[in-house]
Amino acid sequence: MTLDQRQNSKLLMGIIAGLVAMVAIFIAYQWMSSPQPKHEIDQQVVHTPAKPVVKEAAPVVENSASTAVANTTAEAPIQLVDEAILKQEVPKNASLAKEEIAKLDDIQTQLNEQEKTLKAQHTDADDLIALKEEQVKLLEAQLAKAQ
C-alpha cells in the first residue's frame, strides 16, 4: 500500500465520522426541542399524584432538652398528605387506577417508615433526657460533697 492510499482512507474515515457526528447532533436537537406528544399531556392532566410534605426530623440537641419540648408543642401539626386526595375521582382507565394505587401504597409505606423512625427518635430523645437528668443529679451530689 502506498502512502497516498493510507492517507485517503484516513481522510475518508474522518469525513464519515464528522458526518455521523453532525447527524447525531441534529437528531438529538430535534428530539430535545420536540413538543410533548398529546397522550403524555393528557395523562399528566388526568393523573396528578399527591406529593407528601416530608419534613426532616430535627436533630436532638443534648444541652437544651426543654427547648426541644417547647418547640414541638409550639408548632402546629404538619399535614403530610393533602385531604383533597380523598375526594379526587379514581381514573376510568384500569391501568391508570392501578398506577395510582401503587403510588399511594408507596406513599403509605414511606409514611409508615417515617413514623417508625420518628418513634425511635422520640424514644431515643426520652432516654437521653433521662440520662441527662441522672447526670445532673450526680453532678449536684458531687458538688454538695465537695462543699
- The boundaries of the domain holding residue 20 are 1-34
Residues 98 and 142 in one domain: yes
pTM of the entire predicted model: 0.36
Residues 63 and 124 in one domain: yes
Whether 59 is covered by a domain: the verdict is: yes
Average pLDDT over residues 105-117: 93
Residue 70 or residue 133, greater confidence: 133
Q: What residues contact residue 113 under an 8 Å CB cut-off, 6+ apart?
A: none
Whether 40 is covered by a domain: the verdict is: no
Cβ–Cβ < 8 Å for 80, 54: yes
Percent of the chain topping pLDDT 70: 63
Residue 82 or residue 59, greater confidence: 82
Residues 69 and 94 in one domain: yes
